[in-house]
Amino acid sequence: MIDAFAMTQNVRRFMAGLEVLRRPVKGRIGIMLVYGPYGTGKTEIGDWYYTNHAIPYVRATDGTTRRELLANIVSALEEAPKYRSADIFEQLLSILDEQSKPIIIDETDYLVDSGIIETVRDISDMTNAPIILMGMDDLEKKLKNYPHLIDRITVRVRFELFSQVEIANYAGQVCETTLSDDAIAFIHLHGKGRLRMTTTWLERAERIAGLNRLEEVSAAHLEAYLEKERQG
C-alpha cells in the first residue's frame, strides 16, 4: 500500500466543513458535528488532522468523567492539568483564551450518554474555541436532547459508506496493483463500503498480485483467496 493519506469524498466533506466552521456567526465560532456509520474513517481523519495541524485531539471512552475530559484536553494542549475539576476547567479557559485552537473530541456518544456533553457546551460558550465533535450515525439524534448545544452546531458533516466509484478512487490513490471492475465490485460487496474493511481487501489484492505476478487482480482471484480462507 502507498503510504499516503487518500483524498476521499468523506475527507473533502470534512475539509469543507472546517471552512464553514472558521467563519464566525455574529462573532461566535460554533461546533462542527462529524458523524456516520462505523468504519467510514472518522477517527482516521481526526487523527490525521490533529497530527498535521498540531491541535488537541481527545477520545472519550465508556465511563469518562468530567474531570478526565477536561484533564485530557489540557494535556492535549501540552499543559499539566491541575487536580480539582473546577481548577482544571479554569486552567483550560485560561489556555484557550491565549490560543483558541480547534478541539477534536472523538467518540462523543459516550459523553452524550453520560450527560458530560454539557461540559463541552460550557467550553464552547466561555472560550469561543472551535470544537469538532465526532461520533456514530445516531449522534445528531442523541444531541437533540440537548437543545442548547444543538443551537451551537454551525456545520454538520456526515461520513458515508464507500460506493464502488469511491472504492475505485481510493484504490487508485493507495493500492499498488491494478484492480478489474469486477474486483472493485467484489470489494464493495465484501468490504461493505467501510474504509477499514476496504483497506484490508486492497492489501489482500496486493498480496495476490505479488505472489502470482499478476498485472491485474480480478474478482475471481479475490474469490479464490476467500474460499481458501474459508477452508482454513
The one-letter code for the residue type at 65 is: T
Q: Which helix (H) or strand (E) holds 212?
A: helix 195-212
Instruction: Spell out the domains of the chain, with CATH numbers in brackets.
Output: 9-158 (3.40.50.300), 164-231 (1.10.8)
pLDDT tens for 175-201 read 999 999 999 999 999 999 999 999 999
What pLDDT band is residue 232 in, cutting at 50, 70 and 90? low
Closest by CA position to 67, among listed 92, 33, 46, 40: 92
What does the block give as the cell for 94? 485560561
pLDDT in tens, 107-163: 999 999 999 999 999 998 888 889 999 999 999 999 988 888 888 899 999 999 999
CB 179, CB 210: distance < 8 Å: no
The percent of residues above 70 in pLDDT, for the chain, comes to 100
Give the Cα separation of 77 and 98 in Å (integer): 12
Indicate the average pLDDT of the chain.
Answer: 91
Residue 26 has pLDDT above 80, yes or no: no
Mean pLDDT of 212-226: 93
Grid cell, residue 77, equals: 494542549
Helix (H, G, I), strand (E, B) or coil at 153: strand
